Amino acid sequence: MPVLTQEASLIERDEVLRDVLGGLSRDQKMLPGKYLWDETGSSLFDRICNTQDYYLTRCEGALLRSTVEEIGSLVGSGATIVEFGSGASHKVRILLNALTAPTRYVALDISREYLEAATLRIAEDYPGIEVTPVCADYTKQITLPIQRWASPVLGFFPGSTIGNFDPAGAVAFLTRARKTLGPSWLLVGADPNRDEQSLFRAYNQADGLMAELHKNLLVHLNRLLGTAFDPGDFRHEARVQNDPFRVEAHLVATKPLTYQVGEVPITFGSGESIHTDTSYKYDPGKFQNLASQAGWQPAKCWCDERNLFCLHLLQSN
């Protein structure tokens, strides 16, 4: 089962260098969150999902299990499932187990090593389903390397990952996904939670693994660029921001620093931060409005009883 690669989506050194220099040259230094996702970062996130603090995985899993039969009745039998940012492919198993005779699973992920391992496990556990791993960056347009299908197509974007996009970015992603999938359904997990205490525990604590995940971004860049970032020079900090409501992750310099990136020296003042990731919190009405702007028709929305997580089923003709 070869991993199909979209050449324009591979992380190449020149592209990484442009991203890093561009981000670290801003007044508010930043690094693209996609560089969190090497094999180590994906493994750390799997561990985060099993912590007590990180409520999102538990809430989404319970909601998905309670609604999957209804989802299946709407989507129909013989579906092809296309997962954006598939990671370890844990949640898609709920769909594969409950939908009527799914025929194909297409896993899209930027981390080749993690993608290979996860799809091999899926292929072994579901021998009757065709498994196609595609190494690609879903922040860019993806053309699936397989023909359109007569059977229903269900896109799957779980984990509140849509929250990594600001509103304009979310519309852009949903527009790209509609072009990738063609006439289809799209199931998206979104997080409307605005309880700051639970957000602080999820994004600042998570048993210390969240800090490891964000510091590993620097380790990943060292490997890609030959830089010498020392994760010990930074502390992880999550910040709740308003207008729009979101949680930002930052790596904060603990002392004055200078690093060489390519031919450029990058300096940090003590307390200066790198913005590494954002999680926007979209309530149902806001998300459905964004989906409509991207050409999707909201078909159904399910929220858990504590309003900590929502699943949106969208349709495109």
pLDDT tens digit sequence for 39-64: 899 899 999 999 999 999 999 999 99
Give CA–CA dist 58/33, Å, rounded. Answer: 23
Q: What is the mean pLDDT of residues 8-35?
A: 87
pLDDT for residue 303: 96
Domain coordinates in residue numbering, the chain: 1-223+283-317
Report the percentage of the chain scoring pLDDT > 70: 94
CA 132 from centroid of its chain's CA atoms: 19
pTM of the shown model = 0.89
> 181 vs 158, 174, 185, CA distance in Å?
16, 10, 8
Architecture label for domain 1-223+283-317: 3-Layer(aba) Sandwich (3.40)
CA distances from 188 to 276, 297, 298 (A): 23, 13, 11
Rounded to a whole number of angstroms, the distance between the first and last alpha carbons of the chain is 31
Q: Using CA atoms, how far apart are residues 214 and 118, in angstroms rounded to an integer?
A: 22
The residue that leads in pLDDT, 109 or 2, is 109
pLDDT tens string 247-263:
999 999 999 999 999 99
pLDDT tens per residue across span 231-244: 999 999 999 999 99
Residue 112 has a pLDDT of 87
Are the CB atoms for 43 and 114 separated by under 8 Å?
A: yes
Torsion of CA 124, 125, 126, 132, to 10 degrees: -50
Average the pLDDT over 59-77 and give the result: 96
Rounded mean pLDDT of the chain? Answer: 93
200 CB neighbour count, 10 Å cutoff = 15
The pLDDT value given to residue 196: 93
**Within 10 A of 150 (CB to CB), how many other CB atoms are there?**
7
pLDDT confidence of residue 3: 66
Instruction: Look at 26 and 144; give whichever has higher pLDDT.
Output: 26
**11 pLDDT above the threshold of 80:** no
Nearest to 198 by CA among 48, 44, 60, 52: 52
Question: For residue 182, is pLDDT > 60?
Answer: yes
pLDDT at 206 > cutoff 80: no
pLDDT surpassing 50 at residue 217 = yes
CA 7 – CA 150 distance, rounded (Å): 27
Structure tokens at 260: 């060489």
* 3-state helix vs strand vs coil in the chain, percent to 5: 40, 25, 30
Please write the tens of the pLDDT for every residue from 126-141: 999 999 999 999 999 9
Fill in the amino acid letter for 184.
Answer: S
Per-residue confidence (pLDDT) for residue 205, from 0 to 100: 79
- pLDDT of amino acid 8: 36
Determine the distance from the C-alpha atom of residue 6 to the mean position of all C-alpha atoms in its chain, rounded to a whole number: 18
Q: For residues 255 and 196, is the Cβ–Cβ distance under 8 A? A: no
**Which amino acid is present at 282?**
Y
Pair of tokens at residue 247 = 């949680």
